[in-house]
Amino acid sequence: MSERPAAPGTAALEPVIGLEIHVQLATATKMFCGCELSFGEPPNTRTCPVCIGLPGSLPVANARAIHFGLMIGLALGSELAPRSIFHRKNYFYPDQAKGYQISQYDEPLCRGGRLGEVRIHRVHLEEDAAKLIHVGASGRIHGSDASIVDFNRSGTPLAEIVTEPDIRSAEQAGEWLRLLRGTLRQLGVSDVNMEEGSLRCDANISLRAAGTSELGTKTELKNMNSFRFIERGIRAEIARQQKLLLDGGQVLQETLHFDPDSGAITSLRSKEEAHDYRYFPEPDLLPVAIDEQMLAAAAAAMSELPAERAERLRGDAGLSEDSAQLLAFRGELGDFFEAALAAPTDPPAGAQALANWVTGELLGRLDDGQDPADSRLEPAALAALVGMVGAKQISVGAARQVLDRLLAEGGEPGAIVVAEGLAAMDGSDELAAIVAAALEANADAAERVRQGNAKAIGPIVGQVMRDTKGRADGTEVSRLINEQLGL
């Protein structure tokens, strides 16, 4: 075995991550023309001379998009520029009708700000490109037979949010993005749907010796379209850079693509191949001048943001830090929780217990990203169910069965409990008889429990639960087993 030079331990390298998020704004019309935004219409049906770049056409900025941009800036605590300007970003690509994209460059709409523990660098407005569809087996540009262009998306308004490099792990990136998504959803400025592309994320990733402040060479991981892929992609790129550096290599500044299917990271272009975009002020548009009226309108349109909601849920409802944060950052869960909390039930459901059920049992039964409001479960039904558990009218196990039924069919938990005979069996003779039968059927286990092996009680409790269809209260069953074994 050859000797290797002492490599710094992996713990000595710290990831430094910044995100660039493109948010499609939910305006009625496009950024620079009057075409309606497209949601899966037949290709090239939501187009006009402006968004297909016909000769002589001119852009006119969408006031609603600027309003949404200001709302985002307010939500992120950014400095709102009294005067910002659009630039032309020049490059040739078939998805780019004019040969340039109208974007903001050195005078963006919003500068600075913070969301959670991550500082915001800037927020600017721009237009989306058209959609390229690569025809052929691969579905990607390489190996396709032809590429066709759908201009329905061309000119869709985008806000680009750029963070400072304040993120230190893939998990933190995912969690912060969820907070951002919740914030944008709460603002109502975007559908923020990653799968549909209304929220897209690039990550700038570098590594450095922990405790130092100098930034290492970064790579840019492009266009990851789900939270899971973002976390996986960042993890994979951190691992790739780590291996490179530990092997004595160097990270090259380049733009990368993460393939979620294979997990492979491939280079799209290197620093040397980077475009010279030849930015210059867009002469077809006037500077965006923000007046008091526009600021007041943006401020008036703001609703409670997730960070504020978390604070309220902690303070007013007395929830734990974790529960409050989860319910606030996933606004649809928070909405369901608050609706359930407001429902009058007898016996009442405690706030923390209800929060635990929403973020635990309920969330675990939803599809990824599903809004519980879209299920058959009514908030009042969940509140009633949690109230019954709290009052020990049914066991937790029985309540889980009821929740399954409520999600599948809807209805009232009380009625399901009666119909299914799931009411708790507290200390009744019937339960004592079932416990006795279970001890008999599990004589070996019973003997081990008697000799002091507490863990051996499991199969006996299991038998009782099966026989009672989960109606029995676990604590009561254990008490009866011990009592009957004379312990």
Partner 1 sequence: MSSGALELSAVAAAAAIRDGSLSAGELFDAYRERAGADRAAGEQGLNCFTWVADERPAQAPAGGPLAGLPLAVKDLFCTEGVPSQSGSRILEGYLPPYTATAVARLLDAGASLLAKTNQDEFAMGSSNENSGYGPVRNPWDRARVPGGSSGGSAAAVAAGLAPWALGTDTGGSIRQPAALCGIVGLKPTYGAVSRYGMIAFASSLDQAGPLTRDVADAALAFAQMVGRDACDATSLEFPHAITAPSAERLDGVRIGVPDELTGDGIEAGVRACFEAALARAEELGAQVQTVRLAHAPHALSAYYVLAPAEASSNLARFDGVRYGLRAEAQELLEMYTSTRHDGFGAEVRRRIMLGTYALSSGYYDAYYGRAQRVRTKVAGDFREAFAEVDFILTPTAPTVAFALGEKTGDPLAMYLNDYCTVPMSLAGIPAISIPCGLSAGLPVGLQIAGPAFSENRLLDAAHAFEHALEFDGSGARV
Nearer to partner 1, 61 or 386 (CB): 61
Please state, in angstroms and as integers, the Cα–Cα distance from residue 294 to each residue in 70, 82, 107, 157, 289, following that order.
Answer: 8, 10, 18, 18, 9
Residue 428 and residue 476 in contact, taking contact as beta carbons nearer than 8 Å: no
b/e map 341-369, b = 16+ CB within 10 Å: bebebeebbebeebbbbbbebbeebbeee
Distance CA 205, CA 394 (A): 51
Q: Annotate each residue in 149-168 with x if it binds partner 1 (CB under 8 A) or - if it does not, as one string.
A: x-------------------
Judged by CB under 8 A, does residue 54 bind partner 1? yes
Q: Which stretch binds partner 1 (CB under 8 A): 45-53, 167-175, 179-187, 470-478?
A: 45-53
**CB of 85 vs partner 1, minimal distance in Å:** 12
Per-residue DSSP letter, 29: B
Among 56, 211, 364, 486, binds partner 1 (CB under 8 A): 56
User: For partner 1, how many residues bind (rule: CB under 8 A)?
Assistant: 28
**CB of 260 vs partner 1, minimal distance in Å:** 27
Kindly give the interhelix angle for 379-390 and 413-420, rounded to the nearest 10 degrees. Answer: 60
Note the helical H segments in 90-202.
170-187
Q: Where are the beta strands (DSSP E) in 78-198?
A: 79-80, 83-84, 86-90, 100-104, 110-111, 114-115, 118-127, 131-135, 146-150, 157-163
Judged by CB under 8 A, does residue 98 bind partner 1? yes
Note the helical H segments in 102-226.
170-187
Among 8, 77, 82, 94, binds partner 1 (CB under 8 A): 94
Among 20, 254, 284, 335, binds partner 1 (CB under 8 A): 284
Nearer to partner 1, 58 or 441 (CB): 58
Nearer to partner 1, 61 or 184 (CB): 61
Rg of the chain, C-alpha, whole Å: 29
Among 210, 268, 286, 415, binds partner 1 (CB under 8 A): 286
Among 23, 61, 340, 383, binds partner 1 (CB under 8 A): 61
Question: Beta strand pairing status for 219-224 and 146-150?
Answer: unpaired
Among 5, 40, 55, 364, binds partner 1 (CB under 8 A): 55
Task: For residue 276, give the 3-state DSSP assignment.
Answer: coil
**CB of 282 vs partner 1, minimal distance in Å:** 8
**CB of 313 vs partner 1, minimal distance in Å:** 45
Residue 306 and residue 288 in contact, taking contact as beta carbons nearer than 8 Å: no
Nearer to partner 1, 277 or 371 (CB): 277
Judged by CB under 8 A, does residue 60 bind partner 1? yes
Q: Which stretch binds partner 1 (CB under 8 A): 10-18, 226-234, 278-286, 301-309?
A: 278-286
**CB of 90 vs partner 1, minimal distance in Å:** 5
Contacts with 465 (C-beta within 8 Å, 6 or more apart), sequence order = 397, 472, 474, 477
Distance CA 157, CA 360 (A): 37
Judged by CB under 8 A, does residue 100 bind partner 1? yes
Judged by CB under 8 A, does residue 276 bind partner 1? yes
Q: Which residues bind partner 1 (CB under 8 A)?
A: 49, 52-61, 88, 90, 92, 94, 97-100, 149, 276, 278-280, 283-286
